[in-house]
A and B are shown apart, each in its own frame.
Chain A
Amino acid sequence: MNDMRLIDRKTTMNEIKIAAEGVDVFYGESHALKDVSVDIEERTVTAFIGPSGCGKSTFLRCLNRMNDTIPTARVTGRITLDGEDIYAPSVDPVQLRAKVGMVFQKPNPFPKSIYDNVAYGPRIHGLSRNKAELDEIVENSLRRAALWDEAKDRLAEPGTGLSGGQQQRLCIARAVATAPEVLLMDEPCSALDPIATAQVEELIDELRQNFSVVIVTHSMQQAARVSQKTAFFHLGHLVEYDDTDTIFQNPRDTRTESYITGRIG
């Protein structure tokens, strides 16, 4: 007879989607991220947690070269997506960001209509052949971001006219519209009410079937709920990276334990 123990609970090792080796980030003189090496798995939600200023957002921004836009930022080390160095001269950052999408903490819709906000990515990347296909992409993206019911009758209105929570879901719809392979989310729910938060978490779980999601969050409970892997950052170091269950029930490093139990800020 088969062993009926809780083998299913064990996290199976997926393929590596993004591999970072010895990554250091400097903003001018300040050394923001120190020798971080981590493997982000495919079809997995990875949570980055840690106090403000610990480097988690900095590291997240390295994964789709958002730090390129900051003149003083310098990134060393190696980051690969599917084995390809994303900092290689041949890589076009715009193409990279179509594959590695991002949702920010503050909603930042384009000053365009709701429809055009979502349609923008598919248009510039040529993901649809006609209006009907584009309509479908827009509808699907808005549905996945749990915004369709509220937005379907006002698609021509400006995205900036939506409420803060709706704007954030619009940004999520915009990010998923290009069908990215990796979605980076920097505190995507900090401006959302509990219902919208639950909808976004549901979306994250759905995205995991096909993609990798990396989420930076200040909510311990959110990290515990949505992720399979958790990385704890502190003072620019990656302190501990393990299965989420382990991090929240029996972490190895005392700094991790102090942080998640609310003993250091």
Chain B
Amino acid sequence: MNNAHIASAFDRDLERVQAMLMKMGGLVETAILDGAKSLEARDLELADSVRKGDRAIDALEEQVNAEATRVIALRAPTARDLRTVMTVIKISANLERCGDYAKNMAKRTTVLAETPPVGSASVSIRKMAREVQLMLKDALDAYVQRDAALAADVIQRDEDVDQLYNALFRELLTFMMEDPRNITPCMHLHFIAKNIERMGDHVTNMAEQVVYLVTGALPDESRQKQDVTAYVSEE
């Protein structure tokens, strides 16, 4: 199929909005990595830059939405053009939320820097963050390349993030039972871990949206939920 529209301005509009989305994705990837790095290294300056950087992500989301709305109003997109615009809007919303979680991680880092470290939790968190960032990178690559198989792979990998979270959840519980003075840092660490786990879910949504973009149908919900912490009680 010929890829260019007869109205070339339509192509330029779509390219512009997709370029903004990719820029947004890059900023979120950096925010996730830097947030986790600032936590592990107790780098308050880096944490501060992550917090401030979220503004740019939010502003881009607004621009993406405004541009996508304009495309719908002017071009009345159909078929894969329509799916592209819908996907852009949904991915930008999910990216924006990931940015918020990264910002929250940076905020908590400034509190955690005042307390003694708890075990190797911040190392595990950085591992989780790295995992999610790689998922995000692949989800965005899958979007650019219109690669449903890669997107399906990203969806599967969310299990690994869930398992890392489960392990960390239990670890933090143990620390808190050992010494009540650990409760404050452990609560913060837990929120951070939970937020990264949520980022994994948002990236999964993006990957599902890519499957929709490519195939015209959302993937079946075949993955087993791996986050079992809702059922954990004190043993």
Chain A residues in the interface with B (C-beta under 8 A): 220-221, 224, 248-251, 254-258, 260-265
Identify A262's interface contact among B1, B5, B83, CB under 8 A. B5
Q: Are A263 and B3 in contact (CB under 8 A)?
A: yes
A-B residue pairs in contact (CB < 8 Å), sample of 7: A250-B216, A255-B1, A258-B2, A262-B6, A262-B10, A263-B1, A263-B2
Q: Which residue from chain A places its CB closest to the CB of B75 in the assembled complex?
A: A262
Please state if A248 and B2 are interface contacts (CB–CB under 8 Å).
Answer: no
Report whether A261 and B79 are in contact in the complex, using a CB–CB cutoff of 8 Å: yes
Contact A261 B80 (CB under 8 A): yes
By secondary structure, the A interface counts as: helix
For B43, the chain A residues whose CB sits under 8 A away are none
CA distance A102 to B75 in the complex (A): 31
Q: Smallest CB–CB gap between B77 and chain A, Å?
A: 7
Beyond the given pairs A257-B80, A261-B78, 11 more chain A to chain B contacts, judged by CB atoms under 8 angstroms and listed by A's residue number, are: A224-B78, A248-B79, A248-B82, A249-B82, A249-B83, A250-B83, A250-B216, A255-B1, A262-B7, A263-B4, A263-B5
Question: In this assembly, does B217 line the interface, its C-beta being within 8 Å of a C-beta of chain A?
Answer: yes
Counting CB contacts under 8 A, is B81 at the interface?
yes
Question: In the complex, A265→B5 CA distance in Å?
Answer: 10
10 pairs of A and B residues whose beta carbons are closest in the complex: A250-B216, A254-B1, A260-B78, A257-B79, A248-B78, A261-B81, A263-B2, A262-B5, A258-B1, A261-B79
**Could you say which residues of chain A place their CB within 8 Å of the CB of B6?**
262-265
Within 8 A of A (CB), among B4-25: 4-7, 10
Instruction: Give chain B nearest CB distance to A140 CB in angstroms.
Output: 34
Distance to closest chain B CB from A239 (angstroms)? 13
Chain A residues whose CB sits within 8 angstroms of the CB of B81 once the complex forms: 261
Look across to chain A and name the residue whose beta carbon is closest to the beta carbon of B5: A262
Alpha-carbon gap, A255 to B2, bound state (A) = 9
Describe B's contact surface by its main secondary structure: loop
In the assembly, what is the distance between CA of A256 and CA of B80, in Å? 11
A220 touches B76 (CB 8 A): yes
Which residue of chain B lies nearest to A255 when distances are taken between CB atoms in the complex? B1
B3 to chain A, nearest CB (A): 7
Q: Which residues of B contact A255 (CB under 8 A)?
A: 1
A261 touches B77 (CB 8 A): yes
Docked pose: A262 CA to B1 CA in angstroms: 12
Cβ B76 vs Cβ A251 within 8 A:
no
Which residues of the partner chain A approach B4 to less than 8 Å between Cβ atoms? 263
**A261 CA to B11 CA in the complex, in Å?**
11
Q: How far does the alpha carbon of A257 sit from the alpha carbon of B76 in the complex, in Å?
A: 14
Instruction: State whether A251 touches B2 (Cβ < 8 A).
Output: no
Contacts of B79 in A (CB 8 A): 248-251, 256-257, 260-261
A263 CB contacts on chain B under 8 angstroms? 1-6
Closest to B212 in A: A250
Complex Cα distance, B217 from A265, in Å, reads 28
Given A262-B7, A262-B10: A220 in contact with B78 (beta carbons within 8 A): yes
